[in-house]
Structure 1
Amino acid sequence: MDNGRPQNTNPTELRRLLQERTEDLQWVKAEYDNYRKRVRRDRMAIRHIAVANVLRALLPVLDAVDRTCAHEPMTPGLKDITDTLRAQLGSLGLETFGTEGDPFDPARHEAVVHHVSPDADELICTEILRPGYRLGDQLLRPAHVEVTGPPPPASNRLAGHGEAPHDDTERDDERPSPPVRPAAPNTWAPSSRRAPPRPSI
């Protein structure tokens, strides 16, 4: 190269070099775009984890506010605190769930009491003892509920495991004792067959 100009002036060679440099630039640009996407995705994941941790730590505060609202008169100050707290947490994506009449879902509900109703076909949440919360698709806390429905299936400790294998080996304390040979009967014999008495010394 002389004075910044390529020495080879062959048009075909120049087009080849230009194509190679263009492909290199396109590859670098694609790598940079992928890097930006990964950084954005990682930032969103970190933000989601941080928000979930903060919301999970504030759930006891919401429970305290709910208990206060249930047992104390709703004063303007208490109402303002409750509305502001729920609005701010809702803006972060916090959602509450758990309504009387919902079908029981073991993935979202935790049954504390089970009322048996032989006429029912499925378990229904009949009372919400503590609401559940979620952040998008992430479950922060299941709802504690009372359910009403059919009786649970009879518990069987061998259910799902099959019958226990039979062990034909007898333990030492279960083996029968060897038969005892009966003693010779104490039969009477004529005096002629009796052994003569031993002489006394």
Structure 2
Amino acid sequence: MTQTKNTKQEKQTQKPENEAKEKERSKMESQNQNEMKQDEKGSADADQTTDQKESTDKEFAELKEKLAQTEDMLLRERAEFQNYRKRTIKEKGDIERFVMQKILTELLPALDSFDQVFHTEGKNPSEEVQRVLEGVKLIQKQLWEAFTKFNVEEFDPTGDLFDPNGMEALTRIESDEVENEIVDQVYQKGYKIGDHIVRPARVAVKVPIKKEQTENQQNKQEDNKNNQEEKE
């Protein structure tokens, strides 16, 4: 009887202990499950963050490439516009020069006539002639004021080295006074627009005597001198 009672008491004592252990085990299992869920969530968040970063990097690379393409396109457009502007300015200048060249060519005889009038005027002209000359000079001045706006220039190369690019030699005079071809006289002035020659200056040129001719002349002079001495 006593043994049965003790066994019953032991069972009653073990029951709370088993319940406590069961609760502890359940608690640990719950914690483990929570930790597993957190690990899974953390892993999912990490994967999501990685995916977002890769997506952001890809979008940034695409935007960077588009920006580079846009910048390159703008640079090309700017270069093309500058080239177009330069061509337009050049074409405009060529047209203006062509038109002015045509006008100047037609007026060259009148300009030459002005020069001839002033070169042939007398030293003591009458009052009437002087008034006419003053009127002609005024017209010439106004004409040149208009020409100057279009870069028209006249040039008189007297005393300059002869340059076939802007001069036309009508006569050549041999001279021992020069070592190079020098413009001695200008028959007609030259005209140009900028660097473009409209009409070359028409000139007389002094050219050096060739060495052979000089030696022949010296020999001839010596022969003449010797002949005179022999006669004496």
Please give the residue correspondences for 1:5-154 in structure 2 after superposition, counting only pairs within 5 Å: 10-72=59-121, 73-74=129-130, 75-151=133-209
Residues in 2 aligned to 1:77 and 1:149: alpha-carbon distance in whole angstroms = 41
- Structure-2 change in CA distance of 1:82 and 1:30 (3 Å): closer
Q: Does structure 1 conserve the Cα–Cα contact (< 8 Å) formed by 2:157 and 2:201?
A: no
Whether the 8 Å CA contact 2:158–2:183 is kept in 1: the answer is yes
SS of structure 1 residue aligned to 2:180: coil
What is the TM-score normalised by the length of structure 2? 0.54
Q: 1:118 to 1:47 in 2, by over 3 A?
A: same
Structure 1 pair 67–118 and aligned structure 2 pair: CA distance change class (3 A): same
The size of the alignment, in residue pairs, is: 147
Displacement of 1:152 in angstroms is 6.4
Q: 2 CA distance for matches of 1:27 and 1:119? A: 62
* Partners of 1:50 and 1:153 in 2: CA distance: 48
Describe the SS at the equivalent of 1:144. strand
Q: How far 1:119 moved relative to its partner?
A: 4.2
1:196 matched to which residue of 2?
none
Larger Rg: 2
1:123-167 CA distance string (max 9 Å, x none): 22222111111112111111111222324699xxxxxxxxxxxxx
Structure 1 residues 108 and 98: CA distance shift in structure 2, 3 A: same
Matches of 2:167 and 2:88, distance apart in 1: 36
Task: Tell me the CA shift for residue 67 of structure 1.
Answer: 1.6
- Cα separation, 1, equivalents of 2:187 and 2:180: 20
TM-score normalised over the length of structure 1: 0.61
Distance 2:91 2:139 in 1: 34
AA of the residue aligned to 2:102: N
Supply the distance in 1 between the matched residues of 2:196 and 2:69 (Cα, whole angstroms): 47
Q: Structure 1: which 5+ residue stretches go unaligned?
A: 1-7, 155-201
RMSD: 2.7
Whose helix fraction is larger, Structure 1's or Structure 2's? 2
Letter matched to residue 122 of structure 1: N
Q: Which amino acid aligns with 1:95?
A: E
Q: Say which SS state the counterpart of residue 83 (structure 1) adopts.
A: helix
How far, CA to CA, are the matches of 1:41 and 1:89 in structure 2?
Answer: 20
Cα deviation for residue 77 of structure 1 reads 1.1
**Long gaps (5+) in structure 2:** 1-54, 122-128, 213-232
Going from structure 1 to structure 2, the CA distance change for 1:16 and 1:45 (only over 3 Å counts) comes to same
SS in 2 for 1:112: strand
Indicate the percent of aligned positions where both proteins have the same amino acid: 31
